[in-house]
Each structure stands twice: as structure tokens, then as C-alpha cells.
Amino acid sequence: METNIINRITDVMGKNTFSGTVLVKNDIKILAEKSYGYANRSEQIKNSFDTRFGIASGCKLFTSIAICQLVEDGILSFETKLEDCLNVSFPNFDNDITIHHLLTHTAGIPDYFDEEVMDDFEELWVKKPMYLIRTLEDFLPLFQNQPMKLKVGERFHYNNAGYILLGLIIEQASQFKFADYIEENIFKKAGMADSGYFEFDSIPQRTALGYIDFPNGTWKTNIYSLPVKGGSDGGAFVTVNEVANLWDTLINNQLLSEEYTCKLLTPYIKTNDKNSFYGYGVWIEKNDNEILKYHIMGYDPGVSFHSAFYPETSIKTVICSNKTEGAYDIMKEIEEEILKQKQ
């Protein structure tokens, strides 16, 4: 199996000029680990197994774990209403929005980047430059006074603004800055010492720059395409090994009790795909009535990321790329090989 996975990864990496690092492992051993491309093209610094990559929305899972910790501690509940746990005015938002709605993308609120109607993330920064976005509060003017998009609970609508609100709720409930809370209560417990919410103008060593490629062969980095510092909807930097550590600690109930781990991993809402559901910060794919995988993913200009845990085999896959595309193709190749072994 290891040889087949490595051959598949190598073939796709070569065809698609992949840039990033891939890890596949189970509870016993590493099945595949491979890097390709450059973390810094100008200096020709290669990607490696300890390179830190941005994972965009992949870290919504961190936010959800944090909320579940605060619920488990009795500080919040999933049915707590937004207006009761956040001292911020939303004049046009429905009063019935709960933390559960925000976690499952069913709150119906407007998004600051609505993927159903927008396709160019850089449009956001024309009126409010990205270098001014350093705190969660800085996102509020982008959506705070807009009308509701849908009725509360009407349907799944992937929503970054909802996770900004969850981050603000974490700050207010815990009295910690969001990034500090995540680093203390998740990263430290999961053995993620190299992970963090780094600012673009002060990134640490071994951090990959994100690259945006153009059809004519030119490229640019993504430093003017994203907020200076990521937040509760996305933007942390991780290594592949540390994402695998996160799956291990989560599944083994080391971040939450078994009861609350199960709540986080419950398929609450059907998404737009046939067999796809959403829990709390995690996508869940079913095969008939069985769970095929729990997975997280993220896409930004200069970032593509996929990671999954397959409960039947305990296989964990992590694909981090510092290009806008590439992670999905690698993920599909690995998954086909994993599922083939089951047959």
C-alpha cells in the first residue's frame, strides 16, 4: 500500500507542479511522506516535513474545539443566543441565532466573503486594506450592519463571518485573545509547538510563502491578498506532522471528553453534496450509514489544504500546499488507494 500511495503522489506532483508537503500515516507507521517545490522561490528554499504552511479555513476546527471546551466547562451552551454572549450590536440580525447555528453554518447571517456570489478574495481589500486586519474586531465592519441572507436554520450556507463571531465569543467568554486561547488550550495539548497565527510581516523561520501563479508563467506572493493575521475563520500556520497530532489527540478524547468529542463529530446538517455533512468545524462524508471520513480543508489565494481521518483504518492524511490549487488532486489519489485496499 505504501508503495502505491507514494507512486500516485509522485505522479500527480509531477504533472501538476505541486508545491507543498504530504503525510499519510496510521496508528503504527508513516505510509507516505513527501515534499515538493519551494517554500521560498526567490531563495530556492525547498519545502520540507517541518515547513509551516497556511491552511486557510482548515483551522475552523480549532475554533469549534475551543467552543466545545467552553461548553464542557459550563461557560457557554450550544443553545446560547448570540445576543446573550457577545457585546456587539448587529442591528439586522435575527435574535434567535445560537452558537449551534454559527458552528453549523446555518445562522443565515451575511458573510464578509460570500462564496456563493464572490470569487475574488482580493476584492475585499479595496475599501479596507488587508494590512489593517489584525484583530477579530477588524472584520466586523465588513458584515456587521448588513441584512440577513437567509432565515435562521433555513439551510447550510458556508459562512466565514459566523466563525469570526465564534472567535469573538471565545474571547469574551475566556478573557483570552483568540490566538492565545488556541495556542494554550489546543496547540500545547496536541503537541503543535510549531503552529500559530503568525502575522505576514513577522513570520518565523521555516514558514512557506503562499504563491499565486498566472497563465503567462509569472507569479506573486499572497501577502497583499489576505489579512495580515488570520483569525477564527482561518489563517493559522501548521506543519503536516502537527495536523496528524491534532487528529490523534482529538480522536483519543485528549482535547475534549468523549461526550463532547462525539458532539463535535456529529453530522448535524447536510451540505450541498450528496454524501456530505457538517459537524462542528468538520466536514463528514458518509458511505450509506457509515462514516467514511472526517475532514477539513482550506483554500485561499496561495493556499490549498486537505486533511482527513478515516475511522475504519485510522489513517490520517495531510496535504499542505503553498499554491492556490493542488491539494485536492493529491487528496483524491490517496483516497482512491485507501478505499481500494478496503475492497
Give tens-digit pLDDT for 171-210.
999 999 999 999 999 999 999 999 999 999 999 999 999 9
User: What number of H helices and E strands is found in the chain?
Assistant: 9, 14
Cα–Cα dist 211/214, whole Å: 10
Predicted confidence band of residue 97 (pLDDT cuts 50, 70, 90): very high
What are 59's strand-pairing partners?
Answer: none
What pLDDT, on a 0 to 100 scale, did the predictor assign at position 126?
59
Could you tell me the pLDDT band of residue 292, with boundaries at 50, 70 and 90? Answer: very high
Predicted local confidence at residue 340, as pLDDT: 81
Residue 300 in contact with residue 125, Cβ under 8 Å? no
Neighbour count for residue 270 (Cβ, 10 Å) = 14
- Over the stretch 66-94, which tens digit does the pLDDT of each residue have? 999 999 999 999 999 999 999 999 999 99
Rounded CA gap, 332 and 330, in Å? 5
Residue 117: is its pLDDT beyond 70?
A: no
Does the predicted TM-score (pTM) go above 0.75?
yes
pLDDT above 70 (res 115): no
The pLDDT tens digits for 13-48 are: 888 899 999 999 999 999 999 999 999 999 999 999
pLDDT band at 288 (very low <50, low <70, confident <90, very high): confident
Task: Report yes or no: 237 and 253 within 8 Å, Cβ to Cβ.
Answer: no
Length, in residues, of the chain: 343
Give the residue-averaged pLDDT of 148-160.
Answer: 95
Query: Per-residue confidence at 247, pLDDT binned at 50, 70, 90?
Result: very high
What is the C-alpha separation between 246 and 256, in angstroms, rounded?
Answer: 12
Domains of the chain: 2-342 (3.40.710.10)
Question: Given a cut of 80, is residue 315 above it in pLDDT?
Answer: yes
